Structure 1
């Protein structure tokens, strides 16, 4: 089964080898028929400490690295 890949914006890079990525999804509300934006933050492993705040990155599911990290940065744009 392929691993999920999400794209989002780095909102924090203060931790060592970790970035916090905000991923936004858009969907149509079932009753209001209006486009709604929802976002969620993921902690991702960044081995090279390359990603900085404001960068758009792709993250991929991986085996747990720590208590909260289950994603890894695969591409920084």
Structure 2
């Protein structure tokens, strides 16, 4: 059971929630350019499993890595940090 603590956890913004029990989450990160040293914002779109269809577009959610649920879905929504206004 201690393996659960080693799973990756990310926080992101829900971009799409039109699918059944799935949401598309945009996760932003800052990457330093190797030559010029400027920090660049990069966005990764991840599909996450939302069992109860609670998330809406614009919500800030915390997602955790999990077993593969489908071909492109291997994250699940742990909690909704902030609802959209």
TM-score, normalised by the number of residues in structure 1? 0.95
**C-alpha RMSD of matched pairs (Å):** 0.8
Please, which runs of 5 or more residues in structure 2 have no aligned partner?
A: none
1:54 alignment partner in structure 2: 58
TM-score, normalisation: structure 2: 0.87
- Unaligned ranges ≥5, structure 1: none
Match of 2:80 in 1: 76
Q: CA deviation at 1:35?
A: 1.0
Tell me the equivalent position of 1:43.
47
Distance 1:37 1:15 in 2: 27
Q: Deviations over 1:12-49 (max 9, x none)?
A: 00000000000011022121111101111000000010
Bigger share in helix: 2
Equivalent position SS for 2:31: strand
2: CA distance between counterparts of 1:16 and 1:27?
33
CA distance in structure 2 between the aligned counterparts of 1:32 and 1:48, rounded to whole angstroms: 45
